[in-house]
Amino acid sequence: MTEMLKQHKHIEQTKEIVRNNINNIKVDEPKSNPYDLKGFGGVPKYFGDYSTLLTFGATGNLAVTYLGSYSLTYTITEINLEKGTAIIHFKVANSSSISSGFRPPVIGYTEMWNNNIGKPLNKAFEDGPMSKTIQTFEWDETINLNGSKK
């Protein structure tokens, strides 16, 4: 699952942020770049990520189809300007529940949805299958500062 997650375009965009800001980044200083499906801006992401369901995995990213929104922190652990590389430690964290699995775009992120549908669903599945789970993924990746993966 981590290998699939590494291929998500948001992870690629985060690496590009590092490349573009390498001169302003401090080693060992955690940064955050969450992936969020809330609001209208999340609609195209939602359909892109969940296209895996309609195409039987031929499009989209199966890891992100499962995760939905996720927190992403990254820390540059080493910069080698002579070699043109940087090592990034990524950490993705997420919690999933029955309500997050059935949350529709836009309205599913409102307080109304959470109070009237999300909380009762989660209460019905407090234990066992479909109860709340937490996922954490961590990896180190060396990137080439000129754009290609090392």
Total structural domains within the chain: 1
pTM of the entire predicted model: 0.85
The answer to whether residue 150 scores a pLDDT higher than 60 is no
- Residue 149, in any domain of the structure: no
Residue 34 domain flag: yes
Domain contains 114: yes
Percent above pLDDT 90 for the chain: 66
Q: Mean pLDDT over residues 26-54, rounded?
A: 87
- Expressed as residue numbers, the domain containing 114 is 2-144
pLDDT band, residue 148 (cuts 50/70/90) = low
pLDDT digits (tens, 9 = 90+) for 59-76: 788 899 889 899 999 999
Q: Give 71-127 pLDDT, tens digit per residue.
A: 999 999 999 999 999 999 999 999 999 998 888 888 988 999 999 999 999 999 999
Residue 75, domain member (yes or no)? yes
Lookup: tokens for 16? 């590009």
Please list, residue by residue across 23-48, b when 16 or more beta carbons sit within 10 angstroms of its beta carbon and e when fewer do: eebeeeeebeeebebeeeebeebbee
Give the CA radius of gyration of the chain. Answer: 17
78 bridge partner residues: 87
Residue 52 belongs to a domain: yes
pLDDT mean across residues, the chain: 90
Q: Decide if 108 is inside a domain.
A: yes
Alpha helices in the chain (DSSP H): 2-6, 9-21, 42-54, 62-67, 98-101, 111-113, 119-124
Does residue 15 contact residue 143 with C-beta atoms inside 8 Å? yes
What is the predicted pLDDT for the residue at 82?
94
Beta sheet of 85-96, edge-to-edge order: 31-32, 71-80, 85-96, 133-144
Q: One-letter amino acid identity for 33?
A: N
Domain-embedded: residue 150: no
- Domain assignment present for residue 39? The answer is yes
